């Protein structure tokens, strides 16, 4: 049985609630398929409430990366980590690798989604979710900041939702793009290629999108020309993304849509690392494997991530109410790098390679109703979420590190919005979650940092863990005038993420004795936005608190980092400004600052949670009608909160020194052809990323990409 009687009770209560709701008429703007949708999309979001709404009716910080901005940034790089780091205030700087470990959103984990389908693996968070689709399949990106339970577990820091491409209104449109990326510091073996093809269109009531993208990177080199290290490395990685979206308009109100996306990206490089460390000051870099010994392990990276979603929309299921039903299936396999930390010499293992496996099945039923009074417009969104997530983390050699976890989640939610006299926007919502998590009996893995320093394996009795949580949100925005629009909000998120990490580090013989309690995150935000002439701005301050967090402590006896559950407080502020200087010239800047503490011990949170201050700026210039030039700039500041322990920095407590990065994007249009030149790290800054400086673990202190050229040509017909 997929769900227990206690969970079915939630569905029953929700059904009763639906039956007594008044019948009303849905606003056209609340419909993802409405005729006005295309014209208004640039100022609309769908992620925050599951129904399209205007940004000026959202009482919290939102970042949108539209299609034009995304396309321009992709002339520089297609790495989503890098694109988001430059464009999203509050998101930590890019790690420069395939892993987004340490790239948090406001100090907490972000739930990454594709069209609302979760890509993160919260039960065993390998922190690879940001790179779960090729940027070429994305039309726009919506980022909602702050804890939210609107989509369930794993969104304690907010949501990053990739909205995939839609079909054009033409019967047939074909797009072809070819590009090559290579190092300007040392060309040798650095050249790669990318081929991006798609065909889409609309024929009567049928729409379609087919996309195939292949990319192969050469050797990625730092500012000194050395090959960047292999831990989550990107050198000699081959990726494929196949995307299909089919839609059919059944009648004026009803439509159905089928979406499938497949993504893989594996590094297969005959290289070995020369290991340095934060404490020695020596970087980790890779060299050709000339030892004659076959390198252990198999290629790392996503081995084949599948996402299938079927969506049905009825604009008026009953009077003034829209119904959206979507079901989805997802299968993820993320292979990690070979690590000697997974050694067990007594059993013949010199190391190991883990793989996170996750399969999700979900069904979502969402209603959106509108009720209008004299000078009040109200929207009520309500529905049911059902999800089964089966995740584990075995080793490639057959050993079990994290046992299979079977989570069944049933939730009911209600979200309301009231717009009074076109000026006051009040939002309030509630979500009730019932979660059952089953784990079979298992034994923790014996791991050895040296032949004589090993962890002690435990036989752990499995069982079932149950979580019931109720979370709330409330917010108020006053659109007083164009110059000044203040907002304030409170939101909660229920987070049981990374149970797998707790299970694999168990030091007791029963999962009931492991501190696996869910964490409720309280998020407070206050801010204001406005427009003064051609200047748009937003300033926000926030604070989030949780009774339980997850951090690490080093056990010198076993050489293993153990999780610590302790109360956390995180606070910070963000500011963003955009200025349209002339019709052909625009500029902007942003600043993010964040800090956090373990309030039980009054100690600062480390670099795996809190990022260094970040400043970004951009300039876009169109010197002539068919040419465009863009410059992006990022400054990452200092953060030095920790002292050495016995003469060494430990864990994620390395000091962060500031650095600067400048990127260039340029293009020229000749009829249907676009010629492009992008330059990443234009000034060849020689630097370690913030994460490479903070993480003291062996092999993580790699330098970032040196000056890299990306040249390409695209056509559409």
pLDDT tens-digit map of 618-642: 999 999 999 999 999 999 999 999 9
Q: Is the pLDDT of residue 11 over 60?
A: no
- Among the listed residues 617, 604, 713, 711, the one whose alpha carbon sits nearest the alpha carbon of residue 652: 604
* Second CATH level (architecture) for the domain 5-716: Beta Barrel (2.40)
Q: What percent of the chain has pLDDT over 90?
A: 74
Q: How many CA atoms lie within 13 A of 161 on its CB side?
A: 22
Write the pLDDT tens digit of every residue in 79-92. 999 999 999 999 99
Q: Is the pLDDT of residue 601 over 50?
A: yes
What is the reported pLDDT for 562? 58
What is the reported pLDDT for 3? 44
User: Which element (helix H / strand E) includes 17?
Assistant: helix 5-20
What is the reported pLDDT for 505? 83
Backbone angles phi, psi at 620, to 5 degrees: -120, 130
Write the pLDDT tens digit of every residue in 314-330. 999 999 999 999 999 99
Query: Out of 345-354, 472-481, 547-556, 708-717, which region has the weakest mean confidence (pLDDT)?
Result: 547-556
Output 260 or 558, whichever has higher pLDDT: 260
User: Which element (helix H / strand E) includes 664?
Assistant: strand 659-670
What is the reported pLDDT for 24? 34
What is the reported pLDDT for 25? 34
What is the reported pLDDT for 535? 97
pTM exceeds cut of 0.85: yes
What is the reported pLDDT for 554? 54
Distance, in Å, from the CA atom of 243 to the CA atom of 693, rounded to the nearest integer, reads 37
What is the reported pLDDT for 42? 56
What is the reported pLDDT for 496? 77
Query: Out of 35-39, 93-97, 151-155, 442-446, which region has the weakest mean confidence (pLDDT)?
Result: 35-39
Output 152 or 339, whichever has higher pLDDT: 339
Query: Out of 95-99, 177-181, 259-263, which region has the weakest mean confidence (pLDDT)?
Result: 95-99
Q: Kindly list the domain boundaries of the chain, sorted by start residue.
A: 5-716
Quick one: pLDDT band at residue 50, thresholds 50, 70, 90?
confident
Q: Is the pLDDT of residue 298 over 70?
A: yes
Distance, in Å, from the CA atom of 332 to the CA atom of 194, rounded to the nearest integer, reads 24
Specify the pairing of strand 485-495 against strand 442-443: unpaired
Average pLDDT in the chain: 89
What is the reported pLDDT for 373? 86
Determine contact, residues 358/389, Cβ cutoff 8 Å. Answer: yes
Query: Out of 24-33, 382-391, 703-712, which region has the weakest mean confidence (pLDDT)?
Result: 24-33
Q: Is the pLDDT of residue 690 over 70?
A: yes
Specify the pairing of strand 117-118 against strand 254-267: unpaired
Rounded to 10 degrees, the C-alpha dihedral 314/319/321/327 comes to: -40
Complete DSSP assignment for 53-85:
EEGGG-SS-EEEE-HHHHHHHTTT---HHHHHH
Write the pLDDT tens digit of every residue in 19-37. 333 333 333 333 333 333 3
């Amino acid at each position: 049985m997929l769900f227990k009687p206690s969970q079915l009770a939630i569905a029953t209560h929700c059904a009763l609630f639906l039956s007594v709701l008044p019948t009303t008429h849905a606003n056209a703007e609340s419909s993802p398929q409405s005729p006005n949708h295309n014209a208004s999309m640039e100022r609309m979001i769908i992620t925050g409430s599951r129904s399209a709404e205007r940004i000026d009716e959202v009482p919290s910080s939102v970042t949108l990366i539209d299609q034009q901005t995304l396309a321009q940034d992709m002339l520089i790089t297609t790495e989503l980590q890098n694109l988001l780091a430059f464009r999203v205030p509050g998101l930590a700087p890019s790690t420069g690798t395939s892993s987004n470990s340490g790239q948090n959103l406001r100090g907490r984990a972000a739930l990454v989604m594709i069209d609302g389908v979760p890509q993160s693996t919260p039960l065993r968070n390998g922190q690879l979710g940001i790179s779960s689709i090729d940027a070429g399949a994305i039309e726009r990106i919506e980022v909602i900041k702050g804890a939210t339970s609107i989509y369930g577990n794993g969104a304690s820091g907010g949501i990053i939702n990739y909205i995939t491409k839609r079909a054009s209104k033409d019967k047939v449109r074909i797009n072809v793009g070819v590009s090559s990326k290579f190092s300007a510091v040392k060309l040798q073996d650095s050249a790669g290629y990318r081929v991006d093809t798609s065909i889409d269109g609309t024929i009567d009531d049928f729409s379609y999108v087919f996309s195939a993208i292949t990319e192969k990177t050469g050797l990625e080199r730092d500012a000194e020309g050395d090959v960047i290290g292999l831990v989550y490395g990107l050198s000699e990685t081959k990726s494929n993304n196949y995307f299909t979206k089919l839609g059919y308009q059944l009648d004026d109100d009803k439509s159905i849509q089928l979406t499938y996306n497949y993504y893989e990206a594996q590094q297969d490089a005959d290289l070995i690392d020369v290991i340095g460390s934060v404490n020695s000051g020596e970087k980790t870099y890779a060299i050709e494997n000339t030892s004659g010994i076959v390198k252990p392990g198999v290629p790392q990276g996503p081995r084949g991530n599948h996402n299938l979603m079927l969506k049905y929309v009825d604009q008026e299921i009953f009077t003034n109410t829209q119904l959206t039903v979507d079901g989805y299936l997802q299968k993820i396999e993320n292979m990690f790098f070979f690590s000697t930390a997974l050694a067990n010499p007594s059993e013949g293992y010199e190391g190991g390679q883990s793989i996170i496996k996750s399969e999700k099945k979900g069904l979502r039923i969402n209603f959106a109703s509108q009720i209008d009074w004299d000078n009040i417009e109200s929207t009520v969104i309500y529905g049911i979420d059902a999800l089964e997530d089966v995740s584990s983390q075995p080793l490639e050699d057959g050993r079990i590190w994290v046992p299979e976890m079977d989570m069944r989640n049933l939730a009911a939610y209600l979200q309301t919005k009231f717009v009074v006299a076109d000026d006051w926007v009040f939002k309030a919502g509630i979500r009730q979650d019932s979660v059952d998590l089953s784990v079979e009996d298992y034994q923790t893995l014996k791991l050895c940092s040296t032949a004589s320093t090993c962890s002690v394996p435990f036989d752990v009795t499995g069982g079932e863990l149950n979580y019931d949580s109720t979370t709330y949100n409330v917010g108020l925005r006053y659109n007083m005038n164009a110059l000044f629009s203040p907002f304030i909000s409170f939101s909660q998120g229920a987070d049981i993420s990374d149970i797998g990490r707790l299970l694999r580090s168990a030091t007791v013989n029963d999962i009931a004795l492991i501190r696996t309690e869910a964490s409720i995150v309280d998020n407070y935000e206050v801010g204001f936005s406005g427009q003064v002439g051609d200047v748009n701005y937003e300033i926000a301050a926030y604070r989030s608190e949780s009774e339980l967090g997850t951090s690490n402590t080093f056990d010198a006896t076993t050489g293993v980092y153990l999780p610590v559950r302790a109360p956390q407080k995180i606070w910070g502020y963000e500011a963003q400004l955009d200025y349209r200087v002339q019709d052909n010239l625009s500029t902007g800047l942003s600043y993010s600052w964040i800090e956090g503490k373990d309030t039980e011990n009054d100690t600062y949170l480390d670099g795996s949670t809190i990022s260094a201050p970040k400043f970004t700026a951009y300039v876009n210039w169109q010197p002539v009608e068919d040419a465009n030039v863009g410059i992006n700039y990022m400054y990452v500041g200092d953060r030095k909160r920790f002292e050495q322990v016995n003469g060494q920095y430990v864990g994620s407590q390395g000091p962060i020194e500031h650095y600067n990065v400048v990127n260039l994007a340029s293009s020229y249009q000749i009829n249907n052809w676009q010629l492009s030149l992008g330059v990443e790290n234009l000034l060849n800054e020689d630097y370690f990323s913030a994460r490479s400086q903070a993480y003291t673990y062996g092999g993580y202190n790699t330098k970032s990409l040196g000056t890299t050229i990306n040249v390409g040509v695209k056509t559409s017909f």
